[in-house]
Amino acid sequence: MKCEFPSPEWVAAYEKATMEDDVLKGLLKKWDATVCTYFLAYPKIGMDEDVSVLLDLRGGVARSAKLVPIEEGRDADFVFSGIYDKWKLVIREELDPVRAAISGQLKLTGSLPTIVRNIKLIKRLVKCTSLFDSVFPDEYDDPSKLDEYKAYIKKFRSELKV
């Protein structure tokens, strides 16, 4: 399945991957927190405002992944935030999110020692993004395709109030 990043379809595919991944299930047994991935605005693709995806991993279970209003995402136990280009590298597994947080390429709100102690879990959450195909709108060859995505992102943000 190919999903444009970020979009409701991408988040749904990510949710499905996290819920079905047996390795992640094992790693979550000692975890009880929420994690937000916060994608800073990237007007080039029509993402004129920041986007938040909240992962509910409380009780050692992958419960949900959903697009949420920025304020709700900021209340997560852990928030990884950064620019689109860095997230693209993370999703492609070309950039380790923990190292990126330590080096300042991503910003982490929450306990870095807890994240470091759970590095396998964080890496597995990233691995789950590779269990489906992510399409990056800034890489479209056809400008009309990018225009379609820009219109789509405005529509879903308005409808979902995110």
Helix (H) or strand (E) holding 34: strand 33-39
Query: Are 154 and 25 contacting, i.e. CB atoms less than 8 angstroms apart?
Result: no
pLDDT at position 1 is 77
Q: What are phi and psi of 109, to 5 degrees?
A: -110, 125
Mean pLDDT of 82-96: 96
* Closest listed residue to residue 160, CA positions, set 54, 74, 75: 54
Split at pLDDT 50, 70, 90, the class of 103 is very high
pLDDT at position 22 is 96
Count CB-CB contacts under 10 A for residue 43. 9
- Please, what CATH class does the domain formed by 2-160 belong to? alpha beta
What pairs with residue 4 in β-bridges?
A: 135
* Closest listed residue to residue 6, CA positions, set 122, 121, 152: 152
pLDDT at position 32 is 94
pLDDT, tens digit, 9 for 90 and up, residues 17-54 = 999 999 999 999 999 999 999 999 999 999 999 999 99
The structural domains of the chain, with segments of one domain joined by +, span: 2-160
Single pTM value for the model: 0.93
Instruction: Annotate 39-56 with three-state secondary structure.
Output: ECCEHHHCECCCEEEEEE
Mean pLDDT of 96-117: 95
Mean pLDDT of 153-157: 92
